[in-house]
Structure 1
Amino acid sequence: MPGRGLLLGPFPGSGSHGGAERPVRRGRIVDPESCGRLLGRIADAALGPDRSDSVIVLSHPVLAGAAHRTAARALLAGLGTTRVVVLSSARAAAAYAGPREAGPVLVVDMGAELTEVTLLVGGLVADARQAENGLDDLDGLDPATLPSVLGRTVLDMITSMWRHDRHGAIRGALRKGPVLAGGGALRTDVTDHLARCLGTRVRLADDPSTTVVRGAGQILSSVLRHRPTPPERSGRPR
């Protein structure tokens, strides 16, 4: 939160070396009960007990299925908020770190458990690829080989999208440089390798590992600025 920083850290017992499974794995909710408790703790800390005028932004992996999005919506509905804005993680990343000029944008999100490449045209998803592996799956590799392994995953997805691109959008997005997000973008050896293989510059935000949540926050701020002013209740504005 602005002025308060991080309200809640990792879920107790989570992480690859924790004693319990994480409530979200590979971008999917695998333990709804634990996930609901975590969301409740965040809502208590950030919103307080009365959430009737609150808005929440939910970002999800680009290729998350309808069942997973529905499960997330159901958990958020239980928090008692007024509105939930749903968007893909690629749109959130582009909102924070993407090129400001018009035209197609390529977002490469290299996370702990997923790697995604998304082509946005006019702010909408035109094409996307996902690999169900990420940095956590590369633990134990020789650090010298990690850039080429992760780079090959990304390049294979971009190549596949290029073959199916009928309008030159991928080419236009690459000319501007792809937006890199996720923990993988923190590694200069990885970003340098991608730039060399693609023959173009790459774009990074100040902190790529939080690009998605910061972009979602920007979109939330925009929604709040443009929503109607709620009526006064109990003699005081809210």
Structure 2
Amino acid sequence: MTTPTERTGRGGWAPLGRDLAIDLGTATTQVHVRGRGVVLDEPTLVSVSTTDGRLVAAGAAAHAMLGRTPERVLSLRPLSDGVITDPDVTEQMLRHFVGRVRPSRLLRPRVVACVPSGVTAVERRALEDAAIRCGARAVYVLEEAMAAAIGAGLPVHGATASMVVDIGGGTTDVAVISLGGVVNARSVRVGGDEVDEAIVRGVKAEHDLLLGELSAEDIKHRVGAVWPLAETLTTRVRGRDLTTGLPRTVEISSDEVRRHVEPVTAQVVEAVRLVLDICPPELSGDLLDNGIVLTGGGALLRGWTERLRHELGIPVRLADDPQHAVIRGAGVCVDDFASLRRVLAGSSLR
């Protein structure tokens, strides 16, 4: 019996679809299959039965149930701030996702898994173990900042410094990269989820109105900003009046949202500033020429390039398709292990 194969860039042969790249993010899980590209991009969310802990739904199906489930079904986010908080539920979710994209259960793939730069050894091990239990024969760990830089097309192996700021759902990773390695980096556990929470708190304080998670996320997408816009945007949102307990609608502007999320914005700006402060002088000069590249879904919030450019005085640009930069970078490693193995942060060979 023969195994389906594909020709690699080096002229050798490799099992078709055996290797996977997984970006298990706080807000979104993305999977790249070797030879097929990104085949899964769904919310990191599950619905489980409260009676037996059985998985009821995962991903987009669970997201559609958010805030609408009966008492016997509980919606959970198994990751917080970029790390696994519920190993059992994470394994169920990961097994569900991997089962949907694996071409054969008989083949044990190698897996490149992305982690925040500041992850601890215990937190990294939890991700490795979850992947191994889902059928991986080897797990290679790749820092999200490095993956984002590769996915954004930065010259990570060159002597000239590159800087990437990856704003995800639970973490923001900032790194200066040169000669295929991370020169210095910082990870703060702040991202899109904290923006949503800041909007909920701000609307509650200013309008005495309680919003749901989906409503806060919708406000962020419609009128969210971290820098004054040329034209103020507005949207109407419904919530529960905390005084009367009845539904009520209010109008929210982009200026108001910007005030609400400023504490979160300031933490990201400070993280970038701290990385620049400890950057070697030779590389600082490179960054004045090359600037900063923004990746991650959180970078799509209006005004990030203007805010960082104003605060730091260096060029800032948004990567193409920023929300997929990390998984694209990890996918490059999966497609050519031989040339990119040296950028992997570590591995657990089984």
TM-score, normalization: structure 2? 0.57
Letter in 1 for 2:164: V
- Residue number in structure 2 paired with 1:42: 97
Deviation readout 1:15-57 (Å, 9 max, x if unpaired): 6x554331111011111111111221222222231123x2211
1:9 pairs with 2:64: no
**Structure holding more strand per residue:** 2
Residue 110 (1) aligns with residue 224 (2): no
Query: Helix, strand or coil for the counterpart of 2:40?
Result: coil
Structure-to-structure mapping, 1:197-236, within 5 angstroms: 197-223=311-337
- Which deviates more, 169-178 or 29-38? 169-178
2:180 aligned partner: 123
Distance in structure 1 (CA, Å) of the matches to 2:288 and 2:269: 12
In the alignment, the residues of structure 1 paired with residue 95 and residue 333 of structure 2 have an alpha-carbon distance, to the nearest angstrom, of 22
* Structure 1 residues without counterparts, runs of 5 or longer: 228-238
Q: Give the match for residue 176 of structure 1.
A: 290
Q: Aligned in 2, Cα 1:214/1:168: closer, same or farther, shift over 3 Å? A: same
Select the residue among 189, 198, 208 that pairs with 1:132: 189
Is 1:98–1:179's contact at 8 Å kept on the other side of the alignment? Answer: no
Ranges in structure 2 where 5+ consecutive residues have no aligned partner: 1-32, 48-61, 68-73, 203-255, 342-350
Distance 1:184 1:8, change over 3 A: closer
Indicate yes or no: 2:179 matched with 1:65.
no
| Paired residue secondary structure (2:165) | strand
- Name 1:231's counterpart in structure 2: none
2:307 maps to 193
TM, length-normalised to structure 1? 0.81
Give the counterpart letter for 1:51 in structure 2: L
- Quickly say closer, same or farther: Cα 1:57–1:98, change in 2 above 3 A: same
What do residues 127-155 of structure 1 show as CA deviations (whole Å, max 9, x unaligned)? 12222222222231523336855553233
SS at match of 1:81: coil
Q: Give, as a single letter, the amino acid of the residue that structure 1 aligns with 2:106.
A: D
Q: Give the one of 141, 152, 164 matched to 2:266.
A: 152
| Separation in 2, partners of 1:8, 1:171 | 37
How far 1:221 moved relative to its partner? 0.7
Alpha carbon RMSD of aligned pairs, Å? Answer: 2.8
Could you tell me which residue of structure 1 aligns to residue 223 of structure 2?
none
Deviations 1:171-221 (A, max 9, x none): 423420112111221134122222233333323332211211111111111
1:148–1:193 CA contact under 8 A, matched in 2: no
Equivalent residue in structure 2 for 1:83, among 111, 135, 138: 138
Pair member with larger Rg: 2
Q: Distance in 1 between matches of 2:46 and 2:268?
A: 32
Gap change, CA 1:156 and 1:88, over 3 Å in 2: same
The offset of 1:110, in angstroms, is 1.3
Matched residue SS, 2:46:
coil
2:88 to 22, 33, 36: 33
Instruction: Calculate percent identity across the aligned residue pairs.
Output: 29
